[in-house]
Structure 1
Amino acid sequence: MKAIIFDFDGTLADTLPVCFYAFQSVFKEFDDIEVTEDEIKSMFGPSETGIIKENLKNSSWDQAIDMYYHKYSEKHVELVTANEEVKNLLHLLKKQEFKLAIVTGKARRSLDISLDHLDMNDLFDVIITGDDVSKPKPHPEGLNQALTFLNITNDEAMFIGDSDADIEAGKKANVHTIGVQWLPNFQTQTFSIQPDQRVSRVGEFIELLISEMS
């Protein structure tokens, strides 16, 4: 195992609350409707730009997208708590000389806001965002790009995510896929496609990794 690839929202950072807040603000402002968290989850896949363009009835997309990022940044400190266990895990993996990557549906703009706020810059060798692919998860395009940039084969990587789309993308890319539910807010309560393994604690993943390496 040479590389560990992560999803971001709900996997590396507890950002779902700020995503919900920003989307709810946009739909209220532009369509005058209240959207639930489950309704927002059902829109996930494309980047924020894609979600707004595909689901907002009001065609003032540029203004709506700008508002989304403004709201996302404005409430990030208040709604997103850094998870020290996850951060320590990333530093541990770096120390063990694993290559680290992110494959996320988020746009680069919101990911950069989160990485900056959470002091996670410079931890990753490769980052693939929703801006970098034509086909979002569950399509494996993003994962395949990451493998290419990391210069490794699919049997040298594992992918870690919290949603059905993550698990399906991992399976389609033929990488060892782990479903995690270790943050307070994650996307999928019950995976409809079974990952190779499931973990509910960061410590459990570290134990799993040690056993894989021994």
Structure 2
Amino acid sequence: MEKDVIVIKAVIFDFDGTLADTLPVCFVAFESVFRQFDNREVNSEEIKAMFGPSETGIIRENLNNNNYDEAIELYYEIYRDRHENLVQNNEDINTLLRRLKANGYKLGIVTGKARRSLDISLDYLGLNEFFDVIITGDDVEFPKPHPEGIYKALEFLDVLPNEAVFLGDSDADILAGKKANVLTVGVQWLPNYQTAEFNVQPDEVYRSINDFISSFSKRLSGVKVD
């Protein structure tokens, strides 16, 4: 009996730590918010532990001071003001997206970020042109590791789970991908990423963007199944 060939049609990405090295500006903005409104210092590991909801959700869930709206506005002010200095354009990422797009793949983002901060980053980095669907933390009821965001992206792109791959830098990303039954790729290819050792094992792990580019067509575009 001949084996069916499943062809990957869509590549869906997490954003922070996967497509852009934005974690430093996120940390600076959160540190400033907690310092100004709660008079407390939080470090990057404490901030990572809060990740899941959007930035607005993180502030509302973790800030002791109830001036949430002011704190949220401060977050976005710092995020925008410090973005250019703290987040560098990555030409390897641009090359990856251009090649995938040129080869006919549908591209998406599923991120816990709020739409407002994602738009700031996409504008600064010139990444708006690449994506067929973007699902943010504002668009879901349940953040990763729940697969809701990936389900929404698959539906919009009109692809089956076995026709998609999801790339992310955290256990929550990989777990969401596995729950959605898509191929999962863990990445540690930017200077700052969330997970040093994956507790949830991805199907593939890449520490180099160029390695992923060179192996994608061979290893992911023709997965044979019984």
Q: Who is 2:77 aligned against?
A: 70
State the alpha-carbon separation in 2 of the partners of residues 6 and 60 from structure 1. Answer: 33
1:85: which partner in 2? 92
Instruction: Tell me the secondary structure at the aligned position of residue 122 of structure 1.
Output: helix
TM-score, with structure 2 as normaliser: 0.94
Structure 2 unaligned regions, length at least 5: 1-7
1:115 equivalent in alignment to 2:116: no
Residue among 156, 169, 183 paired with 1:162: 169
Distance 1:78 1:53 in 2: 27
CA shift at 1:25, angstroms?
A: 0.4
CA apart distance, 1:82: 1.0
Q: Partners of 1:153 and 1:210 in 2: how far apart? A: 19
Matches within 5 A, 1:14-93: 14-93=21-100
Deviations 1:100-136 (A, max 9, x none): 0000000000000000000001210000000000000
**Letter matched to residue 207 of structure 1:** S
Q: What CA deviation, in whole Å up to 9, does each residue of 1:154-196 have, x standing for no partner?
A: 0000000000000000000000000000000000000000000
Q: Where has structure 1 moved over 4 Å in runs of 4 or more?
A: none
Q: What's the % identity of the aligned pairs?
A: 62
Counterpart residue type for residue 33 of structure 1:
R
- Determine the structure 1 residue equivalent to 2:146: 139
Distance 1:55 1:197 in 2: 34
Pair 1:189-2:171 in alignment? no
Residue type of the alignment partner of 1:109 = R
Q: Which runs of 5+ in 1 are unaligned?
A: none
Distance in 1 (alpha carbons) for counterparts of 2:156 and 2:144: 18
Task: State how many pairs are aligned.
Answer: 214
| Alpha-carbon shift at residue 210 of structure 1 (Å) | 2.0
- Work out the CA distance in 1 between the residues paired with 2:175 and 2:110: 13
Could you tell me how far 1:207 is from its partner in structure 2?
2.2
Q: Residue 127 of structure 1 aligns with which residue?
A: 134
Matches of 1:94 and 1:195, distance apart in 2: 24
CA distance in 2, matches of 1:121, 1:205: 22
Q: Which amino acid aligns with 1:80?
A: V
Show the counterpart of 2:211.
Answer: 204
Quick one: distance in 2 between partners of 1:198 and 1:17? 23
Distance 2:103 2:59 in 1: 40
